[in-house]
């Protein structure tokens, strides 16, 4: 019987040929990763997502035909959003949150090191998420009206894996209904998770829950 491959299958979506070929060459050095396909525009990306069913998509945000956000939004409409890492040269916090809201699991600049890139792919393939720390710092500063210090639990109770996922999704701006749709649960269940998150973190609203989550390393 043939051995089953345990390598992570990656779809590269990048319109610049040299950049795309460079990523292919780099990823070839990671024995547990496999480039399953490539796409040069948004329409081709959607086609490859459906036909290849990759474990992880590395998705450029600036693409011909459909940009990366539109690809994610359409994939979500079709009910087939794979774990996705946004790759971009644009350091834009607003874009970060739009991408997360559309279903991305992480956001990296193209100047990321090989070690960070491969680690991010593995993290996302395993069900985790990744937000670049420098962007997180600016996101904290940009939250309008957020206090520099606020009441919270001194020793917060650890969130469950599902609660961490709900925290990530509502921090990206999704409503309870949208979170429920994404996770395949009813809206009431999401409300229960949100209530539990606020209680465990000892905070009174979602903005403070996001800040506390960043402080605790949940992002």
Q: Give tens-digit pLDDT for 131-150.
A: 555 455 555 555 434 444 44
For tokens 């946004």, the residue is: 86
The rounded average pLDDT for each run of 10 residues, N- to C-terminus, in the chain (219 residues) is: 69 91 89 94 94 93 89 87 82 64 77 82 80 52 45 75 86 76 87 93 82 77
Rounded-to-integer distance, Cα 124 and Cα 141, Å: 26
Rounded-to-integer distance, Cα 127 and Cα 123, Å: 7
By CB atoms closer than 10 A (0-12, 13-18, 19+), residue 77 is exposed
DSSP string, 127-165: T--EE-HHHHHHHHHHSTT--SS----SSPPPPPHHHHH
Q: How many domains does the chain have?
A: 2
Q: How far is CA 61 from the centre of its chain?
A: 13
Reported as type and span, the H/E element at residue 88 is strand 84-88
The CATH number of whichever domain residue 180 belongs to comes to 1.10.10.10
Rounded-to-integer distance, Cα 119 and Cα 50, Å: 25
For tokens 């309870």, the residue is: 176
Compute the mean pLDDT over every residue in the chain, rounded to the nearest whole number. Answer: 80
Q: Are residues 135 and 162 in the same domain?
A: no
Q: What is the DSSP letter of 36?
A: E
What is the domain extent for residue 48?
8-140
Q: How far is CA 27 from CA 21, 37, 88, in A?
A: 10, 12, 17
- CB of 39 within 8 A of CB of 10? no
- CB of 68 within 8 A of CB of 108? no
Q: Are residues 118 and 156 in the same domain?
A: no
Which pTM value belongs to this model? 0.64
Q: Are residues 103 and 177 in the same domain?
A: no
Q: Are residues 156 and 128 in the same domain?
A: no
Q: Are residues 115 and 42 in the same domain?
A: yes
pLDDT tens-place string over residues 40-82: 999 999 999 999 999 999 998 889 999 888 999 899 888 878 8
Q: What was the pLDDT predicted at 45?
A: 95
- CB of 122 within 8 A of CB of 105? no
In a domain? residue 154: yes
């Amino acid at each position: 019987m043939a051995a089953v491959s345990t390598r992570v299958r990656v779809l590269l979506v990048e319109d610049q040929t040299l950049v795309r070929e460079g990523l292919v060459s780099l990823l070839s050095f990671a024995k547990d990763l496999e480039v399953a396909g490539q796409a040069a525009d948004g329409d081709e990306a959607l086609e490859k997502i459906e036909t290849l069913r990759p474990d992880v998509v590395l998705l450029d945000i600036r693409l011909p035909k459909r940009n990366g956000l539109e690809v994610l939004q359409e994939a979500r409409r079709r009910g087939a959003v794979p774990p996705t890492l946004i790759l971009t040269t644009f350091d834009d916090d607003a874009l970060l949150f739009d991408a997360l809201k559309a279903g991305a699991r992480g956001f990296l600049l193209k100047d990321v090191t090989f070690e960070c890139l491969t680690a991010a792919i593995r993290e996302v393939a395993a069900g985790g998420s990744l937000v670049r720390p420098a962007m997180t710092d600016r996101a904290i500063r940009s939250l309008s009206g957020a206090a520099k210090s606020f009441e919270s639990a001194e020793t917060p109770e650890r969130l469950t894996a599902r609660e961490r996922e709900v925290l990530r999704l509502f921090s990206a701006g999704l409503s309870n209904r949208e979170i429920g749709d994404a996770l395949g649960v009813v809206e009431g269940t999401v409300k229960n998770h949100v209530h539990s998150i606020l209680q465990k973190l000892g905070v009174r609203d979602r903005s403070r829950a996001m800040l506390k989550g960043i402080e605790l390393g949940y992002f």
